[in-house]
Amino acid sequence: MEKLIVRFGTLHDNVGKPRRNGVLVIEGDHITEIGDRVAGAADKTGGARVLEAVCVVPGLINAHAHLEMSGEAQTTSVFVLTTPTQRTMTCAENASKSLRAGVTTIREIGGTENIAMDLRDTIDAGRLPGPKIVAAGQPICMTGGHGWWAGRQADGPWDVCKAVREQRRGGADCIKFIATGGVLTKGAVPGIEQLTEDEMRAGIDEAHKHGMHCAAHAIGTSGIKNAIRAGIDSIEHGHLIDDEGIRLMVERGTYLVPTLSAIMCIIEAGPDAGMPDFVTRKAREILEHAEGNLRKARAAGVKFAGGSDAGTPFNYHDAYWRELELMQSMLGMDAREALFAASASAADLLGVKRGRLQESEIADLLLLDHDIDSDARAFRDPTVVIKNGRIAADRRTA
């Protein structure tokens, strides 16, 4: 069994206080020991490969990404003008980019066909590089609803239930419902409700029965509350949430995935970047309220899980670091809280045993050149990415 020893200056394990000057030992795909650098038996290398890092953190988990999209200015055209074969190759390329940038687990939260599920199985079999994929299959939306160009359009509780069964048949791990309008679809107003509470409840009950968790695209105030009352596990975006919505989320333990990168990448690119006018207009309207609302939610104790909506305009799969920096600058988190949201908390939401560095856990971790406590940019460009105990990317040799 291959053995790796990582000597670290600081280890953020998402469990306790940072550990200083120690070693972390990996055998096979698991962490077998975390100990003291000098006294630990692990320091007797015994032919093991030894790596050095200023800082070690858990592999990042992006709980909201679209692997068939690559940050194009015109999102709809990605689906209308390309073939499933082309999107399959895009999906594989973006998975590989995500992994190299430190994302060791990714939730593909809305694509077409069975592309993400098939890629998941191909990656699990070791045939292509990429993060562990948790896939939703097609998003389920009302006829003509947000994302209909990629989604399974369903109307009425029984049809929504059937749409869930179809995603499960295709191999989906989780389900995504569209509860409100969205930014990237022409004519879909973010503040307006789409699937009804009854429709979502039928779909969520069916998904939960089969052990699948459920996410709702929900930007508008009343649609967010419909999804929470229907039993959703996570609110995606949540930007126009009100006090009642916040209270409901705290009561029920619903996660919020803030996708700040999705808005900020559109705003920063500006109106001349080739996006349809309605996209920049809607993003600007949402930004006016998002920061204040999400800060309130955080202060009230809502659980945040990191997700960037990678693939949306100018929001690239190798830039998940941006979401961690935005959670700090816009929501007031410190680096450790942002890391926790983008690893341990996201793992809990996805139901994967990842995101914490302890003995007997799967060895998904990043070696960084700078400590996250002292350098807000530390998450950019990890030196080494380790997934399932193996070196998946190594910038020192690149």
Q: Which is nearer to Zn ion, 309 or 323 (CB)?
A: 309
Note the residues at the interface with Zn ion (CB under 5 A): 309
Place of tokens 């609803």: 145
Q: Which residue is nearest to Zn ion (CB)?
A: 309
For residue 37, how many other CB atoms are within 10 A of its CB? 14
What is the closest distance, in whole angstroms, from the C-beta atom of residue 223 to Zn ion in the complex? 15
CB 146 within 8 A of CB 178: yes
Q: Which is nearer to Zn ion, 100 or 176 (CB)?
A: 176
Q: Which is nearer to Zn ion, 309 or 348 (CB)?
A: 309
Q: Tell me which residue of 62, 61, 108 sits closest to 87, measured CA to CA.
A: 108
What is the closest distance, in whole angstroms, from the C-beta atom of residue 150 to Zn ion in the complex? 10
What is the closest distance, in whole angstroms, from the C-beta atom of residue 217 to Zn ion in the complex? 6
- Burial string for 126-146 (b: 16+ CB within 10 Å, else e) reads eeebbbbbbbbbbbbbbeebb
What is the closest distance, in whole angstroms, from the C-beta atom of residue 157 to Zn ion in the complex? 24
Q: Which is nearer to Zn ion, 309 or 318 (CB)?
A: 309
What is the closest distance, in whole angstroms, from the C-beta atom of residue 309 to Zn ion in the complex? 4
Q: Tell me which residue of 100, 8, 54, 133 sits closest to 380, measured CA to CA.
A: 100
What is the closest distance, in whole angstroms, from the C-beta atom of residue 180 to Zn ion in the complex? 12
Q: Which is nearer to Zn ion, 309 or 361 (CB)?
A: 309
Q: Which is nearer to Zn ion, 10 or 234 (CB)?
A: 234
What is the closest distance, in whole angstroms, from the C-beta atom of residue 361 to Zn ion in the complex? 29
Q: Which is nearer to Zn ion, 9 or 182 (CB)?
A: 182
Phi and psi at residue 351, to the nearest 5°? 70, 30
Residue 264, C-beta contacts closer than 8 angstroms, at least 6 positions apart: 287, 322, 326
Q: What angle do CA 342, 344, 347 make, to 5 degrees?
A: 90
Residue 354, C-beta contacts closer than 8 angstroms, at least 6 positions apart: 58, 59, 61, 104, 105, 132, 343, 347, 361, 362, 364
